[in-house]
Structure 1
Amino acid sequence: MNKWKKWIPALFLGMLLLLAACGGDSSGEGESTSGDGSGEGSEENADSGEKGEINIGLNNWAENVAVSNMWKVILENKGYTVNLTQVEKGALYTALESEDLDVGLEVWLPNTDKPFYDKFKDDLAWHEDWFEGTELGLYVPSYMEDINTMSDLKGKADQFDGKIVGIDAGSSLVSLTQEALPLYDLKDSYELQTSSGPVMTQELGKAVEDEEPIVVTLWKPHWVFAEYDVKLLEDPEKVYGEKENINWVSRKTFEDDLPEVTKTLNNWMMDDESLGSLMNMVKEEGEEAGAKKWVEENQDKVDEWTAPLSE
């Protein structure tokens, strides 16, 4: 027994060293997953956000939701942190001016967003078109054969329960419709009900399913045209203007801070087919999941757009 006594201190010291080593390993694992740069956990997230942060403002239009989520996926794949902030159209421009947001991806010109352009043209940076040939106005289901122009709505308010289903109150489309109603002598017989894009499409879908009359504020591009047979009412007074293009806008200093991203977004171009497929995928799969799937299936197109990020 006595001969083992001399080993007791050594054994005790060995146990202490072993416990310290285990404690060190545990601490190291915790540090790596917290992202302080040590260990494998931090390496997995090493590219996430390292190139900068981009704040995108989006309104609740279907195509805006689709393209905003698409660019979130694309830019995060390239190492940026991207935040999406839902905001009404009017508030978007104010937030860009104050630099609370960096980018807005949908500006309709020369007509729909003209009031915003006139107000902020010197305070923001206006960029390249990414879609050409839009349409907007009042739409009805195609089975309403006797309603083909704005003037055809006159005297038929009872068919529509006296209402036009609108979208967001702050949208240019609603403002233009408010201008159109008195011009076509509809102001006293119709109420323009503001809601949101999703509410409008939900009511349209219910009406089409039951083959009921409905008139809605709508725009093209939109996934609705792949689902329902609807028609644009002719607008002889040209309140809604001619076909337009969609471009993007940023805070004034965005290009100075992120020139490669600016070049990339200026490379971006979509048509009815590509935008329609994106919108349908987002609708079917969910916003971010649908955008990821579309990006994966259209990588050649994405690579063309993002070439400046690889230079």
Structure 2
Amino acid sequence: MNRFFRCLAFTVLLAGMLLSAGCNQDAHQADADDAPIVIGWTAWDDAEFVTRLSKAVIEDNTHHSVRLKLAGIGKQYRGVASGRLDAMLMAWLPDTHARYWKRYRDRLVDLGPLYRGGQLGWVVPDYVPRDRLNSIADLADPDIAARLGHRIQGIDPGAGLMQLSQHALKSYGLNKQYQLVAADAHVMSKALAAAEADHGWIVVTGWTPHWIFAKWPLRFLKDPKNALGAAQHIDAVVREGFRKDYPRVAAMLSAMHLSLPELQSAMFDAQKNGYPTAIQHFMDQHADQVAQWVATGKRH
């Protein structure tokens, strides 16, 4: 009889230990589920709109919360590669971020393009006469250099576009005539707005998609040496293990795709009315499209 009660007590104790372990495991999983998904972004208008749109879609259609982390592009790649960030939605490939991609690609997972046909280049107002300035090579003319104040207005110095622009200056022999002025993208757009108001000449580092192309008639200078790269695709990149931890969100991001015209229109809306309003407008106007992204997530 004593042996029977000893066995019974051992069985109860073992069951309690297993139940406790199971509860601890469930609690750990609940903690992981409750942790916000951290998405890095840089203050480029296309990246900001797509990142904020993704946050809204994820939070509206899953139980996950999203926290946005503002960081330079290099820090984003390092953050996702190290696992400190869960995702970034602005990998410009194959040329613009080639240096970062080569360094970190073994520790990143590419979920595919969010939009295609992105273009980098040097941009001028369309009122600048084409017979005077239509190609980067035309910038070598001393009169044109003087008209432009020997300046090319750039964006943040860590951007791939700025690295390629330095390469373009050397490729076209312009590095002694021009200063590539580093600033953030907002300073670039303000400089362009000031030039447009005065009908002045200016060259800025630009890209599509961008709301400036929805607001003003602009054009890219031709780049016969292809120093600034060919058309790009802009991809969603996540850390290793993200698909396993968040399969539904990963599937939604893989399905997410926008055309350049609709993205540029939405970005211009954000400039006029703010991001919350523009994002709601987009989701209302593209309800079927958003529903497809969500449905893809539900299948995982």
TM bracket, shorter-chain basis: 0.7 to 0.9
Q: Which residue of 64, 68, 71 maps to 1:80?
A: 64
Q: What amino acid does structure 1 have at the position aligned with 2:274?
A: G
Q: What amino acid does structure 2 have at the position aligned with 1:73?
A: A
| Structure 2 counterparts to residues 1-311 of structure 1, below 5 A | 53-78=36-61, 79-145=63-129, 146-154=132-140, 155=142, 156-311=144-299
Query: 1:66·1:287 contact (CA, 8 Å) conserved in 2?
Result: yes
Query: 1:281·1:294 contact (CA, 8 Å) conserved in 2?
Result: no
Query: 1:162·1:191 contact (CA, 8 Å) conserved in 2?
Result: yes
Where 2:49 maps in the other structure, the secondary structure is: helix
Q: Deviations over 1:74-131 (max 9, x none)?
A: 1111232111111111110111122111110011111111111100110111121121
Q: CA RMSD in A?
A: 1.5
* Corresponding residue of 1:22: none
- Residues 50, 250 of structure 1: alpha-carbon distance in 2 compared, 3 angstrom cutoff: closer
- Give the Cα–Cα distance (whole angstroms) in 2 for the partners of residues 116 and 142 of structure 1: 33
- Give the Cα–Cα distance (whole angstroms) in 2 for the partners of residues 288 and 80 of structure 1: 19
**Misfit runs of 4+, over 3 Å:** 49-52, 308-311
What is the percentage of aligned positions where both structures have the same residue? 30
Q: What amino acid does structure 1 have at the position aligned with 2:231?
A: K
Query: 2:154·2:182 contact (CA, 8 Å) conserved in 1?
Result: yes
Q: What amino acid does structure 2 have at the position aligned with 1:149?
A: S
- Give the Cα–Cα distance (whole angstroms) in 1 for the partners of residues 107 and 298 of structure 2: 30
- Give the Cα–Cα distance (whole angstroms) in 2 for the partners of residues 304 and 201 of structure 1: 34
- What's the TM-score once normalised by structure 1's chain length? 0.81
Where 1:178 maps in the other structure, the secondary structure is: helix
Q: What amino acid does structure 2 have at the position aligned with 1:56?
A: I
Once structures 1 and 2 are overlaid, which stretch shifts more, 170-179 or 129-138? 129-138
- Residues 95, 197 of structure 1: alpha-carbon distance in 2 compared, 3 angstrom cutoff: same
Query: 2:116·2:260 contact (CA, 8 Å) conserved in 1?
Result: no
- Give the Cα–Cα distance (whole angstroms) in 2 for the partners of residues 280 and 247 of structure 1: 21
Query: 1:261·1:308 contact (CA, 8 Å) conserved in 2?
Result: no
Where 1:133 maps in the other structure, the secondary structure is: strand
Query: 1:73·1:288 contact (CA, 8 Å) conserved in 2?
Result: no
Query: 1:127·1:266 contact (CA, 8 Å) conserved in 2?
Result: yes
Q: What amino acid does structure 2 have at the position aligned with 1:130?
A: L
Where 1:101 maps in the other structure, the secondary structure is: coil
Q: What amino acid does structure 2 have at the position aligned with 1:144?
A: V
- Give the Cα–Cα distance (whole angstroms) in 1 for the partners of residues 285 and 219 of structure 2: 31
- Residues 51, 307 of structure 1: alpha-carbon distance in 2 compared, 3 angstrom cutoff: farther
- Give the Cα–Cα distance (whole angstroms) in 1 for the partners of residues 279 and 272 of structure 2: 10
Q: What amino acid does structure 2 have at the position aligned with 1:204?
A: L
Q: What amino acid does structure 2 have at the position aligned with 1:294?
A: F
Q: What amino acid does structure 1 have at the position aligned with 2:175?
A: K
- What's the TM-score once normalised by structure 2's chain length? 0.84
- Give the Cα–Cα distance (whole angstroms) in 2 for the partners of residues 111 and 310 of structure 1: 34
Which residues of structure 2 form unaligned runs of 5+? 1-31
Where 1:306 maps in the other structure, the secondary structure is: helix
Which residues of structure 1 form unaligned runs of 5+? 1-48
- Give the Cα–Cα distance (whole angstroms) in 2 for the partners of residues 137 and 99 of structure 1: 32
1:174 Cα deviation after fit: 0.3
Query: 1:124·1:252 contact (CA, 8 Å) conserved in 2?
Result: yes
Q: What amino acid does structure 1 have at the position aligned with 2:237?
A: V
Query: How many residue pairs get matched?
Result: 263
1:263 Cα deviation after fit: 0.8
1:51 Cα deviation after fit: 6.2
Query: 2:114·2:234 contact (CA, 8 Å) conserved in 1?
Result: yes
Where 1:60 maps in the other structure, the secondary structure is: coil
Radius of gyration: which is bigger?
1
